[in-house]
Amino acid sequence: MFQLYMHDMSEFTQLGVSGEGKYEFDQKIIDAYFHEAQHFPYFIVHENDLAGFALVRQHPYDKTVLDMGQFFVLRKHTRKGVGQRAFELCLQKHPGQWQVRVLPRNLPAQSFWKKTVSKLTGNEFSSRTADYQGHDMTFLSFNC
């Protein structure tokens, strides 16, 4: 399923596929969610169908912040409230200070996250743009 996520992200990151037709990424990023403390992988299920995933972690440099590492909903499940409900369940499971990172060019994700965070926090969040691993990112920060 991470290959599908990478495919969707390639529109905004200019990622290319290898000679074998796969997106290359550091497998340790995914493995951490299944083997390291303070990493929480969740599969999103909608109508008994695997619909996506949410990878939540404690921020590596600020242990007081929860970070949405990656979040993905298959296109056939978008615009049905699936992503918003999945994120709401993450917030219920992990209350506290949060941050969500979004590529500024990813306008659909920008719209989803701003609308969702606004709704779930009563519009109590801050937004800033900063560098993250060599890419400009929009950071939404909030407490839930």
pLDDT tens across 73-112, in order? 999 999 999 999 999 999 999 999 999 999 999 999 999 9
Confidence (pLDDT) at 71: 98
Confidence (pLDDT) at 133: 83
Residue 52 resides in a domain: yes
Residue 6 resides in a domain: no
Residue 115 resides in a domain: yes
Spatial distance between the Cα atoms of 6 and 133, rounded to a whole number of angstroms: 17
CATH number of the structural domain spanning residue 117: 3.40.630.30
pLDDT confidence tier of residue 115, bands split at 50, 70 and 90: very high
Instruction: Give yes or no for a contact between 58 and 38, defined as CB atoms under 8 angstroms apart.
Output: yes
Residue 31 resides in a domain: no
Q: Greater confidence, 72 or 11?
A: 72
Domain span at residue 92 reads: 38-143
Q: What is the mean pLDDT of residues 21-42?
A: 94
Residue 113 resides in a domain: yes
Confidence (pLDDT) at 41: 98
Whether 13 shows a pLDDT value over 90: the answer reads: no
State how far the alpha carbon of 128 is from the alpha carbons of 20, 33, 50, 106, in Å: 38, 26, 33, 15
Spatial distance between the Cα atoms of 96 and 34, rounded to a whole number of angstroms: 22
Residue 47 resides in a domain: yes
Q: What is the mean pLDDT of residues 108-136?
A: 94
Instruction: Give yes or no for a contact between 115 and 109, defined as CB atoms under 8 angstroms apart.
Output: no
The number of domains in the chain is 1
Residue 11 resides in a domain: no
Q: What is the mean pLDDT of residues 59-83?
A: 95
Residue 14 resides in a domain: no
Whether 61 shows a pLDDT value over 90: the answer reads: no
Percent residues over pLDDT 70 in the chain: 100
